[in-house]
Structure 1
Amino acid sequence: MSQAEAERPAGPSPAGPSRASTFPASRLWTFGLLRSELLTTFRRWRTLALLAVLAAVPVLVGIAVKMETSGDSSAGPGGGGGGGGGGPAFIAQITNNGLFLVFTALAATLPFFLPMAIGVIAGDAIAGEASAGTLRYLLVAPAGRTRLLLTKYATVMAFCLVATLVVAVSALVVGALLFPLGDLTTISGTTISFADGLLRALLIALVVAASLTGVAALGLFVSTLTSSGIAAMATTVGLLITVQILDQIPQLHALQPYFFSHYWLSFADLMREPVYWDDLQKNLGLQALYAAVFGSAAWARFTTKDVTA
């Protein structure tokens, strides 16, 4: 027996155990990175301020509707209630059922407040690390650039869900305090139970969160193009505003179905009986397309970007 064979440890070959132990360690590191990213994101004062602003929107809407209703009541029987049909969808129904404040708050925050908050978080995901000088240290870890990018995107998507639920829960609490609760009348004119209404409110919140996946991917891509977090956030929000404006120009009607914001308010179809799924499916499919395109672009850019210089 040669000296090398004599010094080799007895038992299975080293390739087997080392490979088996590498995979769990890699997964453990990935979950640890995701946990660290989530804690870092949600502990920042900027994130908490964004969530506080989002939570305040339903409060302001509820108080405004309550004050208007009180004013109309003091004006006599001829005064109208429920907002006079103005404002976001469902606002005329809030005085009859506080659960409609959830739908109204989501409709009010979705065009600007929610995507703006997502744009800030997504735009800062990579560029913020680069400007702070911490990105190069993250890449020293064994997860690699692809896993780091996926972890960043997962963190942004977690913020999408949390931000949407913050709006929904705030609206539900304010609606319960200021207005009566009970069975709901759908857009189709049918009546559903309060429990069914709560379930639809949760489903609507999930659809709204899913509607922001395109913005999240776009913001992440922009974040890979620059080393300035402020520039990435400003660019993402600027693109968001530009798309919203273009979506309102009648001459661009042929292009508007391809804008990520075009089908955002299709969640209202969940309040029909039966539910209309056409626009909802178009919305989710469009968001998946934007996530795939800009996610791939972000990966292509990030895996070739020089961040060690």
Structure 2
Amino acid sequence: MAPAVVPGAVRGPVPGPGAARSPSALWTLGLFRSELLITFRRWRTLALLAVLAAVPVLVGIAVKIETSDGSPAGGGGGEGPAFISQVSNNGLFLVFTALAATLPFFLPMAIGVVAGDAIAGESSAGTLRYLLVAPAGRSRLLLTKYATVIAFCLAATLVVAVSALAVGALLFPVGDLTTISGTRITYTEGLGRALLIALVVAASLVGVAALGLFVSTLTGSGIAAMATTVGLLITVQILDQIPQLDALQPYFFSHYWLSFADLMREPVYWDDLVKNLGLQALYAAVFGSAAWARFTTKDITA
């Protein structure tokens, strides 16, 4: 007679007390895919992306109305929001204008909401401890959450860029364009630079993502984490405009955000771009490490 099998019993040798379940790379990719689906299926996420997509539409319509009598839009100067003066001449400039308009507030706010909710939202919903029961480990789960926020950074930036590209082509002429330096480049090369600028803008938000993730590990309330992250973003940008703090401003994560305009020069000015990317990497390393230190030692009760 065959021995009875106890439900839930594990066949084979019993692992020793020091043995740990080591999830495979495939399992980790499955966890990442699951996090992506959960994040991008939330109504809040879809609403944020819809707002971001609407900004280029509003800017494009405003420029079209303003220039309908032949008067120029915006001001001169060629950098940041002043790209708006070129939109009526070439619709591709709406991509640069929309990114410049959304980068100081709309994009980081959206990233702050998603990052702030990454851990704290699971905790407040009571699902965090169940996630940790799976063979993920805290470090792997935290890294997956951060990778999901980075994916949202890229998606949000591309939503703005694609929306602006479509609206610009619909409302304005497109073709060869003039760089800030006054040289002419083809429309195809302009599209390449637009894509590169979108990638740089997305990379400019990785520091904000790490900051939001760190804040998310400090509290069990998703709303509190989101509000704190967005509040810090606004505070830092206000401080970046105070002349008396000019010695500190190069260390604020938002200080070099608009340096992406240098990609529209011929030749490209790399100094501020490199400073921006280096600063974002530093913020990501510091706050990512702080988030890891906090999350791996934190008591999980929910």
Alignment match, 2:72: 81
**CA displacement, residues 7-54 of structure 1 (integer Å, 9 cap, x when unaligned):** xxxxxxx9xxxxxxx76x521211111000000000000000000000
After TM superposition, the score normalised by the length of structure 2 is 0.91
Q: Tell me how far 1:138 sits from its aligned partner.
A: 0.3
Q: Tell me how far 1:261 sits from its aligned partner.
A: 0.1
Secondary structure of the residue that 1:139 maps to in structure 2? helix
Q: Tell me how far 1:88 sits from its aligned partner.
A: 1.3
Alignment match, 2:54: 56
Measure the CA separation in 2 of the matches of 1:136 and 1:53: 33
Answer yes or no: is the 8 Å Cα contact 1:26–1:143 preserved in 2: no
Residue from 139, 152, 157 that aligns with 2:150: 157
Measure the CA separation in 1 of the matches of 2:73 and 2:173: 13
Measure the CA separation in 1 of the matches of 2:145 and 2:194: 28
Secondary structure of the residue that 1:216 maps to in structure 2? helix
> 1:189-228, aligned counterparts within 5 Å?
189-228=182-221
Larger radius of gyration: 1
Is residue 2:173 matched to residue 1:175?
no
Measure the CA separation in 2 of the matches of 1:263 and 1:134: 38
**Unaligned 5+ runs, structure 1:** 1-13, 15-21, 74-79
Measure the CA separation in 2 of the matches of 1:146 and 1:188: 47
Alignment match, 1:11: none
Residue from 84, 87, 97 that aligns with 1:91: 84
After TM superposition, the score normalised by the length of structure 1 is 0.89
Measure the CA separation in 2 of the matches of 1:158 and 1:251: 36
Measure the CA separation in 1 of the matches of 2:29 and 2:188: 36
Measure the CA separation in 2 of the matches of 1:182 and 1:255: 42
Secondary structure of the residue that 1:167 maps to in structure 2? helix
Measure the CA separation in 2 of the matches of 1:52 and 1:266: 26
Q: Tell me how far 1:245 sits from its aligned partner.
A: 0.1
> 1:285-300, aligned counterparts within 5 Å?
285-300=278-293
Return the structure number with greater helix share: 1
Measure the CA separation in 2 of the matches of 1:216 and 1:167: 18
Alignment match, 1:148: 141
Alignment match, 2:265: 272
Answer yes or no: is the 8 Å Cα contact 1:128–1:229 preserved in 2: yes
Measure the CA separation in 2 of the matches of 1:47 and 1:82: 32
Measure the CA separation in 1 of the matches of 2:268 and 2:243: 28
Is residue 2:177 matched to residue 1:184?
yes
Alignment match, 1:18: none
Alignment match, 1:123: 116
Aligned-CA RMSD value: 1.5
**CA displacement, residues 133-187 of structure 1 (integer Å, 9 cap, x when unaligned):** 0000000011100000000000000000000000000000000000000001000
Alignment match, 2:37: 39
Which letter maps to 2:61?
I
Q: Tell me how far 1:89 sits from its aligned partner.
A: 2.7
Alignment match, 2:5: none
**Unaligned 5+ runs, structure 2:** 1-12, 14-20
Measure the CA separation in 2 of the matches of 1:105 and 1:83: 13
Which letter maps to 2:72?
G
Secondary structure of the residue that 1:283 maps to in structure 2? helix
**CA displacement, residues 50-85 of structure 1 (integer Å, 9 cap, x when unaligned):** 000000000000000000011x33xxxxxx223344
- Percent identity (aligned): 88
Measure the CA separation in 2 of the matches of 1:198 and 1:28: 35
Which letter maps to 2:256?
Y
Which letter maps to 2:132?
L
Measure the CA separation in 2 of the matches of 1:83 and 1:109: 16
Secondary structure of the residue that 1:142 maps to in structure 2? coil
Which letter maps to 1:49?
A
Q: Tell me how far 1:308 sits from its aligned partner.
A: 3.1
